Amino acid sequence: MTELVRADAPAGKHDERASRAVPTMLRRAAPALLAYTGTRLLGVVVLAIWAAVAGKSWHTLLSARWDSLWYSRIAEQGYGYTLRLPDGSIHSDLAFFPLLPWLERLISALTPLDAAAAGLAVSWVASLFAAWGIFAIGDRLRGRRVGTALVVLWGVLPVGIVQSMAYSESLFTALAAWAVYALLTGRWVWAGSLAALAGLTRPVGAAVIAAVWITAAVALLPAGRRHRAWRPEHRRMLLGMTLAPLGWLGYVAWVGVRTGSVTGYFDVQNGWRNGFDGGVAFARFAGGLLAGPGFPAGLGLLGGVALLIWVFLRCVRRREPLPLLVYAGVVLTLALTAKGYFGSKPRLLLPAFPILLPVAAALARLRTARAVLVLGSVGLASAAYGAFWLNGSGPP
């Protein structure tokens, strides 16, 4: 797909052309969005059937369990709730970034929906915008077939049911995908603004910030610019770089003020036995599995990590655009080096959609019937796994 507007086009022409391009982009993405919607409906239907057999409510499973309860509590009561566990852990709601609960509060104030249902509505709508952004990236880089395969692959991931939960993954992925697309099309201010919102959504918003900063820094390297005059595009780059970290830094600073400590947010994460340790805790967890009766699971875990790294390196060898590589690389690094909640690793990797590009390209080379058969089979397995997962005892 060709670039919508030149990066150095005058602002008026930029806005005019962009407004005309949005309906065209949406029409082009419509088949991919319909296919993606089908994957999510399948997941919800299978969950509803499974939950009915188990005597549970599918709506409650999606909107009012685990992290969803923390978000809705923040939306209804504001920050300030702390839970002290028997093992000494201190779980503070300050660990949860504010954009999703803000939207839940706004929607529940304007509609009859309560905060939990509002969170579910945000997630479902955001998942469509995320799918649209992912398609736009795949379409721009490899064409419509690859864009469609990329979207459906993201929808049929084993943990794809999270995209339909009142969690922040769908909202974050939507903001991240469109921020990366803005970088690919030279929309620096849009990229910085979306990065700021992503930084208000999840800690991994740092990955979007890094994509903006590193892409802009490379573009502004003296070696590449010494023979060119200072242009309006460069000022937009600097503005985008300035905007990008404001959301993430603003929330972390606010938590610091509220807790009376510069490291307040990181102290909160430690209370959850979470945070980042360079992968030490994860390595110990894997080693513990390998040394005991969980050896097959440990072997599978190492194989999964190796596969993720191999696919990412494949993206590097294919010379995917820098914004995609930086964003995906930081998401992978943060997920694999975080301590605690090892069962949630697949969910933390959900926003790393760029690493699916090589698989999407391979699927796009298949005949349509064969590609549909492959993705449909994976979609059924994903729906069954998601239903099994959410009917279990532990959080995803």
5 assigned to some structural domain: no
Confidence (pTM): 0.92
309 assigned to some structural domain: no
Residue 6 has pLDDT above 60, yes or no: no
pLDDT tens digits, one per residue of 168-220? 999 999 999 999 999 999 999 999 999 999 999 999 999 999 999 999 999 88
Please state, in angstroms and rounded to a whole number, the distance separating the CA atoms of residues 190 and 193: 5
Return the number of other C-beta atoms located less than 10 Å from residue 85's C-beta: 11
335 assigned to some structural domain: no
pLDDT tens digits, one per residue of 312-355? 999 999 999 999 999 999 999 999 888 876 678 889 999 999 99
Degrees to nearest 5, angle at CA 243 with 223 and 268? 115
262 assigned to some structural domain: yes
User: What number is the average pLDDT over the span 388-394?
Assistant: 85
216 assigned to some structural domain: yes
Residue 375 has pLDDT above 80, yes or no: yes
User: What number is the average pLDDT over the span 357-367?
Assistant: 96
For residue 44, the cross-strand partners are none
Helix (H) or strand (E) holding 163: none
188 assigned to some structural domain: yes
Please state, in angstroms and rounded to a whole number, the distance separating the CA atoms of residues 168 and 181: 20
User: What number is the average pLDDT over the span 43-52?
Assistant: 96
User: In the prediction, which pLDDT does 54 show?
Assistant: 94
Range of the domain at 64: 32-272+368-390
User: In the prediction, which pLDDT does 8 show?
Assistant: 38
In sequence order, what DSSP letters do the residues of 253-313 get, joined into one string? HHHHHHHTSTTHHHHHHHHTT-SB-TTHHHHHHHHHHHTSTTHHHHHHHHHHHHHHHHHHH
Confidence of residue 20 (pLDDT cuts 50, 70, 90): low
Contact 198, 179 (CB under 8 A): yes
208 assigned to some structural domain: yes
Provide the b/e sequence for 224-247 (b: ≥16 CB within 10 Å): eeeeeeeeebbebbeebbebbbbb
4 assigned to some structural domain: no
If one counts the domains in the chain, the total is 1
Residue 254 has pLDDT above 70, yes or no: yes
